[in-house]
């Protein structure tokens, strides 16, 4: 029997919520502490996406699931050296809103 996926989905939404709250406190590009907090939450949500069932993720082909998983590896292992705060800010702006909507829809459709 496999574990329920809903706690992982909720974990993703919690990490996104924390990222929004962190951004409300200041500019992550200018503040290393805020930047580190955002990176930690991006790592957390990236790991949690790996634990969602592929059958659910297939219903959302516009979400770059494989890239999110790869992004986790970059965050954790810092393969590319220092990660650029401007790039992280753009990732948040460009990808988090759609991921958040997707996860909310997953949960709503499977209540």
Q: Which percentage of the chain shows pLDDT scores above 70?
A: 94
Structure tokens at 101: 């909507």
Q: What is the pTM of this model?
A: 0.89
pLDDT category of residue 1 using cuts at 50, 70 and 90: very low
**What residue spans define the domains of the chain?**
6-109
Buried b (16+ CB within 10 A) or exposed e, 7-29: ebbebbbebbebbeebbeeeebe
Helix ranges, 3-84 (H): 6-24, 32-49, 54-57, 65-77
Query: What is the DSSP annotation of 67-82?
Result: HHHHHHHHHHH-TTSS
């Amino acid at each position: 029997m496999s574990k329920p996926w809903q706690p992982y989905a909720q974990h993703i939404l919690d990490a996104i919520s924390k990222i929004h709250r962190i951004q409300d406190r200041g500019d992550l590009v200018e503040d290393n502490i805020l930047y580190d907090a955002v990176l930690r939450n991006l790592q957390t949500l990236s790991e949690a996406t790996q634990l969602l069932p592929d059958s659910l993720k297939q219903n959302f082909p516009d979400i770059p699931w494989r890239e999110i998983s790869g992004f986790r590896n970059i965050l954790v292992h810092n393969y590319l050296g220092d990660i650029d705060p401007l790039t992280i800010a753009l990732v948040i702006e460009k990808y988090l809103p759609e991921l958040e909507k997707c996860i909310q829809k997953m949960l709503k459709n499977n209540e």
